[in-house]
Amino acid sequence: MFETHRLRGPEGCYTIGDLRRLAQQRLPRAIFDFFDGGAEDEVTLRANSRAFEQQAWRPHVLRDVSQVDLTQTLFGQRMGLPMAIAPTGAGGFGHPQADLALAKAAAHYNIPYALSSSATTRIETIADQAGGRLWFQAYVLKDRDYFWQLLDRAQAAGYEGLIITVDLAVGGKRWRDFHNHFSVPFRFTPRNFVDFALHPAWLYRLLRHGIPVMENLRGMTRPTTNAIATANAVASTVGKNYDDSFDFQRLQEVRDRWQGRLIVKGVARADDAQRIAAMGCDAIVVSNHGGRQLDGARASLHALPEVLDGVSGRIPVWMDGGIRHGGDVAKAIALGAQGVLLGRATLYGAIASGEPGALRALEILTDELKRTLQLCGVQRLEELTPDLLVPTL
C-alpha cells in the first residue's frame, strides 16, 4: 500500500507507522524488538490495535467544522491535547536523549509527561531541563525504603502527579528478548554484538554516551557481571525487583503519603476501579501494559466500558494501548475516556531521532485527531459520543 523506500528522517514520516519503520531501520534488532515487542505470543499486543479497527465511524455531515478545539482539562488545568506521554523505560537504549526528548515535546504541546522509574534519565534532570507538567511513574519495589526515596525525590522536584503501575506483580516473558539475547542490565553477546555492529550510527552514540543506566534505580541493585549466558539467563530482568506483595493496603499508604495527584495505571475491572476511586485516588488508566505483561488479557479499549461503570464518574478515566492514529484517540474519547496515554506512538519517534522524532509523532497525531473531528462533524472533544461509532464485529 505504501512505498517501502528507506526513510531519511522524521520529516519524511507521515504516519506513526513511518516512525516505527524509521526506528526499525536505525536500531539493532534486539533494541528495536525490546521496545516494539510484547509478552509471549503477543496476542494482547495485537488485540490492543485491532480493538480500534473494530469500531467504525458513523459521522455527521453538514456541520460547521471550520474551528475545532482539541484542548482538554485535567485536574483543573487546561491541556493542549487529550493526551499524555506514558511512562516508558530504558529509552536511552534507543537514543541517549529519548526521555528528555519526550518530556520536551510534551511541554511544547502542553500535555503531561510521565517519567518511568526505569528511565535512563534522572528525576531531577527532567524537571530542570524539560519543565511542563510532569508525572512520575513508580514501580512498587521490594526495597521499600528506596521506593519511598523515589517518591520523595519526585515530590521535591515538583512533579505534579504520581503514577502507580499495578499490573506488574512480576515481569512478563518477552520471547523476542530471549531470542535476541537482550537483557537489562545490558550485556554484549556474540549474537547481539554482530547486530549492533551493523548499525554504526547507533553504536557510535552508545560508545560516545556510554551504556545506558536506569539512573533512578542506581544504588538499589547491582548489575550482573556474568559472562555470556544462555538466552533464558540474559532475558529482560527488570521485573525481578518488583514487589509482588503490593496490595490495596499498601496503595492506601501511598495515597496517604503522596501530596500530589495519584494516578493508578493498569486497571481492567469494575470492582477494582470502584475500590480505587473510593480510596481517594485522582485518576485511573485502563491498561494492560501495552501487551508486555499478561498475554491473553483483553484489549484496553474493550476493558474501558467496564472500568467506567465501576468509577461511575467519580474520577477521570484514561486509557492506553494500541494507539497509532489520531482517530484512535478520538475513538477512545467517544467511548468515554477523558484522554489517552501515548506509549509506543511517541516512543518510536524519540528512539529513532530524539526530540525531532518525538515532536513529529505529536504533530502527526494532532493533525489526525483534528481531521477526524472535522470529518465526523464535531467541533469539540465533548461532542465525541458513543453514537458516532458502530462495532464492525
What integer is the mean pLDDT of 303-326? 97
User: Per the domain annotation, does 6 fall within a domain?
Assistant: no
Q: Kindly indicate the confidence band of residue 239, based on its pLDDT and cuts at 50, 70 and 90.
A: low
231 plus 293 within the same structural domain:
no
What integer is the mean pLDDT of 359-363? 98
Return the CA Rg of the chain: 20
103 plus 252 within the same structural domain:
yes
User: Residue 292 has which C-alpha cell?
Assistant: 508486555
User: Per the domain annotation, does 42 fall within a domain?
Assistant: yes
What integer is the mean pLDDT of 59-76? 97
> Which of the listed residues 213, 238, 263 is the one where a domain comes to its end?
238
Strands (E), the chain: 55-57, 72-74, 77-79, 83-85, 113-116, 134-138, 161-165, 261-267, 283-286, 317-319, 339-342, 389-391
Q: Contact 181/192 with Cβ under 8 angstroms? A: yes
pLDDT higher than threshold 80 for residue 314: yes
CA 118 vs CA 141, 178, 191, 241: distances in Å? 11, 20, 25, 11
CATH number of the domain that 325 lies in?
3.20.20.70
192 plus 137 within the same structural domain:
no
What percent of the chain is modeled with pLDDT above 70? 93
Query: Would you state the pLDDT for residue 226?
Result: 41
Q: Kindly indicate the confidence band of residue 83, based on its pLDDT and cuts at 50, 70 and 90.
A: very high
Query: Would you state the pLDDT for residue 346?
Result: 98
Q: Kindly indicate the confidence band of residue 7, based on its pLDDT and cuts at 50, 70 and 90.
A: confident
pLDDT higher than threshold 80 for residue 262: yes
Reported as a single tens digit per residue, the pLDDT across 21-44 is 999 999 999 999 999 999 999 999
46 plus 151 within the same structural domain:
yes
Instruction: Tell me, yes or no, if 108 is annotated catalytic.
Output: no
* Three-state DSSP state, 228: coil
Average pLDDT, the chain: 92
Give 352's strand partners.
none
User: Per the domain annotation, does 392 fall within a domain?
Assistant: no
pLDDT higher than threshold 60 for residue 253: yes
195 plus 266 within the same structural domain:
no
pLDDT higher than threshold 70 for residue 224: no
- pTM for this prediction: 0.92
What integer is the mean pLDDT of 197-217? 89
User: Per the domain annotation, does 167 fall within a domain?
Assistant: yes
113 plus 181 within the same structural domain:
no
Q: Provide the residue range defining the domain that includes 67.
A: 16-173+239-381
pLDDT higher than threshold 50 for residue 121: yes
Query: Would you state the pLDDT for residue 3?
Result: 54
Active-site annotation holder among 95, 199, 289, 325: 289
146 plus 52 within the same structural domain:
yes
User: Per the domain annotation, does 5 fall within a domain?
Assistant: no
pLDDT higher than threshold 70 for residue 230: no
Question: Total structural domains in the chain?
Answer: 2
What integer is the mean pLDDT of 296-319? 97
pLDDT higher than threshold 70 for residue 305: yes
69 plus 194 within the same structural domain:
no
- Verify cis geometry, omega within 30 degrees of 0, for the bond prior to 212: no
75 plus 122 within the same structural domain:
yes
225 plus 110 within the same structural domain:
no
Around Cβ 95, how many Cβ atoms within 10 Å?
30
User: Per the domain annotation, does 298 fall within a domain?
Assistant: yes
Overall residue count recorded for the chain in this entry: 393
More confident residue, 173 or 324: 324
d(CA 148, CA 144): 6
Reported as a single tens digit per residue, the pLDDT across 124-155 is 999 999 999 999 999 999 899 999 999 999 99
User: Per the domain annotation, does 108 fall within a domain?
Assistant: yes
> Which of the listed residues 204, 238, 272 is the one where a domain comes to its end?
238
Q: Kindly indicate the confidence band of residue 169, based on its pLDDT and cuts at 50, 70 and 90.
A: confident
The sign of the torsion formed by the CA atoms of 277, 279, 285, 290 equals negative
191 plus 65 within the same structural domain:
no
> Which of the listed residues 238, 254, 285 is the one where a domain comes to its end?
238
pLDDT higher than threshold 50 for residue 111: yes
d(CA 248, CA 244): 12
Query: Would you state the pLDDT for residue 223?
Result: 46
Q: Kindly indicate the confidence band of residue 180, based on its pLDDT and cuts at 50, 70 and 90.
A: confident
Q: Which residues touch 301 (CB under 8 Å, ≥6 apart)? A: 48, 51, 52, 55, 319, 321, 322, 331, 332, 335
Query: Would you state the pLDDT for residue 213?
Result: 87
226 plus 279 within the same structural domain:
no
